[in-house]
Amino acid sequence: MFSNFKRMKRIISPSVLAADFSNLKSACEMINRSDAEWFHIDVMDGVFVPNISFGFPVLEAIKKHCTKFIDVHIMIVHPEKYVKRFAEAGAQMLTFHYEAAENPDEVIELIRQQGIKVGITINPDIPVESLKPYIDKVDMVLLMSVFAGYGGQSFIEETYERLKTLKKMIDDLNPKCLIEIDGGVSIRNSKQLFDAGANVLVAGSAVFNAADPMQMIKNMLNS
């Protein structure tokens, strides 16, 4: 799936955070049947972000039922301590916060050692340029379009400008690197984001609160 990654069209990565946690199996089955190629799993520690979501056992349970690519976004301090466990629990891509890492190069290396894909991300208040030293070392940059911590927030419009800057950096330094956008993504902005160079759109509430989640995924892909 990753060999012709960048040529690959658009990807929707529905965020589990907006799913019904009492029935994650059916959320996985819906994703499996849908046109979403990825499933976005948000892990929050209550320290890096004010909210706590869930940990390894829940990821393992999702992995058991999900046939799609497991895209794990960790909003935790000391990401270096947990890389191996996330990989063992089923992460196929592990995306950590630049702001939460004392040594981003070390985290990137640890993720690589696990043989899984590496993503790096920043909150909306961190200059995109901070990522410059890492662009050629990662498979994906996740640009947060809300402050990490909660689902259901409004999309921050400045993201378009940041996306433009990021796209230019990636085109110059590592054209194979994917761009993912996360937070407040919906059918109202999906076209504009894809057109501006985003490869992967995370959508929590837009998908799971839709009357027909599978149709919504299709609509966003075709927007």
Which residues have a catalytic role annotated? 42, 182
Q: Which of residues 174-193 bind Zn ion (CB under 5 A)?
A: 182
CA quadruple 148, 156, 128, 55: dihedral, nearest 10 = 20
In terms of DSSP bridges, do strands 178-182 and 200-203 run parallel, antiparallel, or are they unpaired? parallel
DSSP, collapsed to helix, strand or coil, labels residue 27 as helix
> Does residue 46 bind ligand DX5 (CB under 6 A)?
no
> Does residue 15 bind ligand DX5 (CB under 6 A)?
yes
Residue whose entry in the numeric block shows the structure tokens 């689902």: 151
Q: Which of residues 29-68 bind Zn ion (CB under 5 A)?
A: 42
> Does residue 79 bind ligand DX5 (CB under 6 A)?
no
State the maximum Cα–Cα separation within the chain, in Å, rounded to a whole number. Answer: 45
Least distance to Zn ion, CB of residue 20, Å: 18
Q: At what angle are helices 24-33 and 213-221 packed, to 10 degrees?
A: 40
Contact residue for Zn ion among 73, 97, 117, 162 (CB under 5 A)? 73
Contact residue for ligand DX5 among 90, 104, 183, 213 (CB under 6 A)? 183
- How many residues can be counted in the chain? 223
3-state class percentages of the chain: helix first, strand second, coil last, to nearest 5: 40, 20, 40
The full DSSP string for 123-178 is -TTS-GGGGGGGGGG-SEEEEESS-TT-SSPPPPTTHHHHHHHHHHHHHHH-TT-E
> Does residue 42 bind ligand DX5 (CB under 6 A)?
yes
Number of residues that bind ligand DX5 (CB under 6 A): 22
Q: Residues 146, 183: contact at Cβ < 8 Å?
A: yes
Residue closer to ligand DX5, measured from CB, 119 or 184: 184
Q: Which of residues 94-133 bind ligand DX5 (CB under 6 A)?
A: none
From 79-87, 147-155, 158-166, 187-195, give the range in contact with ligand DX5 by CB under 6 A: 147-155
Query: Two tokens at 64?
Result: 């058991």
> Does residue 149 bind ligand DX5 (CB under 6 A)?
yes
Least distance to ligand DX5, CB of residue 158, Å: 16
Q: 90 is in the binding site of which of Zn ion, ligand DX5, none (Cβ under 5 to 8 A by kind)?
A: none
Site of interaction with Zn ion (CB under 5 A): 42, 73, 182
Site of interaction with ligand DX5 (CB under 6 A): 15, 17-18, 40, 42, 73, 146, 148-153, 182-185, 202-206
